[in-house]
Chain A
């Protein structure tokens, strides 16, 4: 993957395939701590405990269309290449929680990529899922929560072009405030 946003898209697809109805993505970008971390938490079907010991190994997959699963191993590898960390916890019937931390000033640290584009794409292409995104920087914190947004919209579709445009601007402006 050429940037962190594409890893997020990929890992979120695992949550979607696991039938999650709520997906939280928490991003911390801190110059002071020298880290960029991504946490993805879902309430999907969870990973069976017998799969967990090898989940970060490419030969672990439940897919039947191909024998290797690459999403998790690649994300872990790219975080660890920077000297960062990776962790994953999961419980069947409860959900999955995964966190990757990149060391920002390491030469192998991937660029963040089009984070906003990816996060909005997830919202607009999975309208039945509630997404909650929290951004934390050295300057502050912002949460974008589609459940709150849907309540405000009172049944007007989030996919209406005017609404999509507004949300895109709202997200961009609020993130800009954090830098």
Chain B
């Protein structure tokens, strides 16, 4: 039987990863990362926010985009869940509503990669969603 993965093996693996990371991280200062916040209150979760969050986490990695994906409480747009807030480096946050997988894909390809706006923006009064609740 194959041996089960444990913390001891994680330790061995760490050194390898460490070397790769040093290379990769040169271009990855935190203020250069894209930030994606997914609204994860009851209303968001009930409308599929978990899948959207997973999609962003997996796809941004796969497409090699330096990004931080986090979850946040309610943004107050229950009617438009799932909602997400995207902040490109050095820019104001933009909130998108009714984000399904195909919209999420558009947001990555058009907005995050090229800065083109995508439909479905919810106008915001420039406070970030963490300040609300």
Nearest CB in chain B to that of A169: its residue: B5
Task: Return chain B residues, CB-CB under 8 Å to A9.
Answer: 40, 45, 50
Q: Contact check: which of B9, B18, B61 meets A161 at CB < 8 Å? A: B61
Residue from B4, B6, B16, B75 within 8 A of A65 (CB atoms): B75
Docked-complex contact B54 and A121, CB < 8 angstroms? yes
Q: Does B26 contact A (CB under 8 A)?
A: no
A117 close to chain B: CB less than 8 A: yes
Docked CA distance A65–B132 (Å) = 7
Partner among B7, B21, B50, B61 whose Cβ is within 8 Å of the Cβ of A6? B50
Chain B: how many interface residues by the 8 Å CB criterion? 36
The docked-state distance in angstroms from the alpha carbon of A79 to that of B103 is 35
Chain B, Cβ-Cβ closest to A65: B76
Question: Looking across the interface, which residue of chain A has its beta carbon closest to that of B28?
Answer: A157
A50 within 8 A of B: no
B49 to chain A, nearest CB (A): 8
Given the known inter-chain contacts A154-B14, A156-B17, A160-B21, please indicate yes or no for A117 contacting B54, CB distance below 8 A. yes
Q: Establish whether residues A65 and B133, one from each chain, have CB atoms under 8 Å apart when the complex forms.
A: yes
Contact B21 A157 (CB under 8 A): yes
Given contact pairs A149-B10, A156-B17, A156-B21, A125 touches B69 in the complex (Cβ within 8 A): yes
Which residue in A1, A125, A173 is a CB contact (below 8 Å) of B4?
A: A173
Contact B45 A66 (CB under 8 A): no
Question: Which residues from B are CB-within-8-Å of A157?
Answer: 21
> Contact between B41 and A10 (Cβ–Cβ < 8 Å)?
yes
In B64-87, which residues have CB < 8 Å from any A CB?
69-71, 73-76, 78
Main SS at interface, chain B:
helix
A157's nearest neighbour on chain B, judged by CB, is B21
Interface of A is mostly: helix
Which chain B residue lies CB-closest to A72?
B42
| A55 CB contacts on chain B under 8 angstroms | none
Report the minimal beta-carbon distance from B42 to chain A, rounded to whole angstroms.
Answer: 4
8 Å CB interface, A114-131 against B: 114, 117-118, 121-122, 124-126
Q: Report how far A63 CA is from B74 CA in the complex, Å.
A: 8
Query: Which B-chain residue is minimally distant from A164 (CB atoms)?
Result: B61
Cβ A62 vs Cβ B45 within 8 A: no
User: Do A126 and B71 contact each other (CB < 8 Å), given the known contacts A65-B76, A161-B61, A173-B5?
Assistant: yes
Chain B residues, Cβ within 8 Å of A156: 14, 17-18, 21
Please determine whether B42 and A74 come into contact, CB atoms closer than 8 angstroms: yes
18 contacts between A and B (CB under 8 A): A6-B50, A10-B40, A13-B41, A65-B75, A66-B74, A125-B71, A126-B70, A148-B7, A152-B10, A152-B14, A153-B14, A160-B20, A162-B13, A162-B16, A162-B20, A170-B5, A170-B10, A173-B5
* The 4 residue pairs across chains A and B that have the minimum distance between CB atoms: A65-B76, A170-B5, A70-B42, A17-B73
Q: Other CB < 8 Å A-B pairs besides A63-B41, A156-B14, A170-B7, 7 of them?
A: A1-B42, A10-B42, A64-B132, A126-B70, A152-B10, A156-B17, A162-B20
